[in-house]
């Protein structure tokens, strides 16, 4: 099932493909407008180049992604939470010659910037020249490049091919299908987050209506509930954190969404407490716990959560590996096969990326070719298995999930250390009930500032916001005279963690 083939079959359909707070688009309009834009992209970009798309949940974002695929170009989706400084760096890395800028920010540079107003003007044309399918992104071509937080302080690009996507969708579709064949699907995850792949590449080709929820609405429960109620959702896709936020309001239940049939989660730990709560609020609902990294397209294992799992001693499982994917547990330099023994999860299969974009140094650390010739990826996740069902235990490094967002703590630290008056720093997670609630950065200062207290914190946060995504900016900044050191002479992370939690 490939999105473009399926969208072709729907090209005369007047059914809605996507709605957002202000706009809507039918499948026919999506097909025609993406043809027009694809012609423009072919004319204005080099073959096999990457189109950068910067925006939120505009319907033009969807048109731009489909148009890039039709033009045989990959796209790199960038949410407005990425600061312009970071976006510009990424454009440089990608050497994009076209940036589709749907935001109100300026992004100037040595590339063509296509603003929303100009884009609207282009795609309002009545006639479109169809793009022959031979021009579309091919099996082994990169379809998109998602950038994820990197421990060096620079984000790393994960190129995903059409084949990677097809491997994922072919398997994951089994969790997504409804007998009725009618789909009103939540499209809330930013397009720069791999979770959005389910809406775009599994549901859209099934003829679903995507209910796009922008950044502002995502944090305004009243508006969010209004929009999802009007859309009469059947499928909910989000991180557990997102739905947990909705559960703060008692009206979030089957009275609000009477036709909701499935809750699909991927991206972070799903707790028993939350699953129980959701089962209470939505009777006869399917809860799917998916697991997977951006580096392997989206999901690589999944399972339905049942009462037996909720009542068991272990945490909720992340399921069995999907079709086309194999799991191995690595301990030291050996693969282990004993139940309950902990080790790092290595996944092998056709949904695994070929490696980070133009970064062989980082790629060589975690990607390799397995004996069967397929790509393998060391996930950094410590897991165990019981009867071939896998359980997530913890990370082996300093990557965390905060409100569902993937963050390398050293990405923050490295950017803090670039501030002229910061001598050294470390960023740590603060926990409540075993869940990360916020981030705290400890800093030591040199003599290049007289700022103190609140003024200092505001200045640091402002400087950080220019470099990293807003959700990565730590909530608290604590100034230290000096750091406790461990026996290796490094900052004693564990001691500070104990102090904090
Ligand atoms: P991302 O690339 O943003 O999808 O993040 C991938 C990482 O999120 C994985 O390597 C895990 O650490 C974590 N993750 C994803 N799904 C789950 C899950 N169901 N349970 C626990 N951790 C998860």
Assess contact for 295 and 321: CB atoms under 8 A. no
**Tens digits of per-residue pLDDT, 304-360?**
999 999 999 999 999 999 999 999 999 998 999 999 999 999 999 999 999 999 999
Residue 164 confidence (pLDDT): 98
Indicate the SS3 state at residue 76: strand
Assess contact for 155 and 94: CB atoms under 8 A. no
Residue 483 confidence (pLDDT): 96
Give the pLDDT band of residue 211 (cuts 50, 70, 90).
very high
Indicate which atom in ligand 1 lies nearest the CA of residue 295. 2
Indicate which atom in ligand 1 lies nearest the CA of residue 392. 21
Q: Say which residue the tokens 């397929």 belong to.
A: 374
Mutate to test the pocket of ligand 1, among 292, 296, 471 (most ligand atoms within 8 A of CB): 292
Mutate to test the pocket of ligand 1, among 268, 271, 346, 379 (most ligand atoms within 8 A of CB): 268
Q: Give 241 Cα–ligand 1 centroid separation in angstroms.
A: 12
Residue 405 predicted with pLDDT over 90 = yes
Q: Give 115 Cα–ligand 1 centroid separation in angstroms.
A: 34
Q: Give 163 Cα–ligand 1 centroid separation in angstroms.
A: 22
Assess contact for 460 and 444: CB atoms under 8 A. no
pTM: 0.96
Residue 434 confidence (pLDDT): 84
Residue 220 confidence (pLDDT): 97
Indicate which atom in ligand 1 lies nearest the CA of residue 405. 3
d(CA 54, CA 84): 10
**Tens digits of per-residue pLDDT, 165-202?**
999 999 999 999 999 998 999 999 999 999 999 999 99
Q: Give 264 Cα–ligand 1 centroid separation in angstroms.
A: 14
Residue 379 confidence (pLDDT): 98
| Ligand 1 shell residues, CB under 6 Å | 148, 194, 266-270, 289, 291, 293-294, 318, 379, 381, 392, 395, 401, 406
Mutate to test the pocket of ligand 1, among 270, 297, 381 (most ligand atoms within 8 A of CB): 381
Instruction: Read off the pLDDT of each residue in 96-116 and give the average, rounded to a whole number.
Output: 96
N-to-C CA span, the chain: 47
Residue 397 predicted with pLDDT over 90 = yes
Residue 488 confidence (pLDDT): 86
Residue 290 confidence (pLDDT): 98
Residue 281 confidence (pLDDT): 98
d(CA 292, CA 342): 18
Instruction: Read off the pLDDT of each residue in 253-275 and give the average, rounded to a whole number.
Output: 97
Residue 69 confidence (pLDDT): 98
Instruction: Read off the pLDDT of each residue in 375-385 and give the average, rounded to a whole number.
Output: 98
């Amino acid at each position: 099932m490939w999105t473009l083939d399926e969208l072709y079959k729907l090209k005369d359909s007047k059914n809605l493909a996507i709605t957002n707070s202000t706009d809507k688009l039918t499948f026919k309009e999506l097909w025609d407008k993406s043809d027009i834009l694809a012609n423009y992209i072919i004319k204005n970009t080099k073959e096999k180049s990457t189109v950068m798309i910067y925006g939120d949940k505009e319907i033009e974002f969807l048109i731009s992604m489909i148009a890039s695929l039709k033009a045989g170009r990959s796209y790199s989706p960038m949410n407005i939470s990425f600061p312009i400084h970071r976006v510009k760096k990424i454009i440089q890395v990608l050497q994009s010659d076209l940036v589709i800028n749907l935001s109100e920010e300026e992004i100037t540079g040595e590339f063509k910037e296509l603003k929303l107003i100009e884009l609207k003007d282009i795609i309002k044309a009545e006639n479109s020249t169809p793009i022959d399918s031979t021009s579309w992104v091919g099996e082994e071509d990169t379809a998109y490049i998602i950038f994820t937080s990197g421990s060096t302080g620079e984000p790393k690009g994960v190129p995903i091919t059409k084949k990677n996507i097809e491997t994922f969708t072919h398997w994951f579709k089994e969790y997504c299908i409804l007998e009725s064949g009618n789909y009103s699907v939540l499209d809330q995850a930013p397009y720069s987050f791999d979770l959005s792949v389910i809406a775009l590449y599994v549901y859209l080709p099934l003829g679903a209506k995507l209910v796009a929820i922008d950044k502002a609405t995502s944090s305004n429960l009243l508006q969010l509930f209004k929009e999802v109620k009007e859309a009469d959702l059947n499928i909910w896709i989000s991180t557990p954190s997102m739905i947990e936020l909705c559960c703060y309001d008692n009206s979030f239940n089957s009275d609000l969404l009477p036709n909701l049939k499935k809750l699909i989660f991927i991206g972070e730990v799903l707790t028993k407490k939350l699953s129980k709560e959701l089962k209470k609020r939505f009777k006869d609902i399917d809860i799917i716990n998916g697991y997977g990294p951006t580096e392997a397209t989206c999901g690589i294992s999944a399972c339905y959560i049942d009462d037996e799992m909720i009542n068991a001693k272990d945490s909720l499982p992340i399921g069995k590996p999907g079709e086309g994917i194999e799991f191995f547990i690595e301990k030291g330099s050996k693969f282990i096969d004993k139940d309950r023994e902990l080790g790092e999860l290595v996944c092998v299969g056709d949904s695994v990326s070929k490696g980070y974009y133009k970064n062989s140094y980082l790629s060589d650390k975690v990607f390799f070719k397995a004996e069967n010739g397929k790509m393998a990826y060391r996930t950094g996740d410590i897991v165990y298995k019981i009867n071939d069902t896998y359980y997530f235990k913890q990370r082996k490094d300093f990557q965390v999930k905060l409100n569902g967002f993937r963050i390398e703590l050293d990405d923050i630290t490295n950017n803090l250390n670039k501030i002229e008056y910061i001598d050294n720093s470390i960023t740590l997670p603060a926990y409540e009930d075993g869940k990360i609630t916020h981030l705290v950065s400890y800093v030591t200062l040199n003599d290049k500032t007289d700022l103190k207290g609140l003024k200092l914190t505001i200045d640091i946060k402002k400087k950080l916001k220019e470099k990293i995504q807003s959700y990565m900016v730590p909530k608290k900044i604590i100034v230290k005279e000096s750091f406790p050191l461990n026996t290796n002479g490094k900052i004693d992370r564990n001691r500070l963690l104990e102090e904090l939690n």
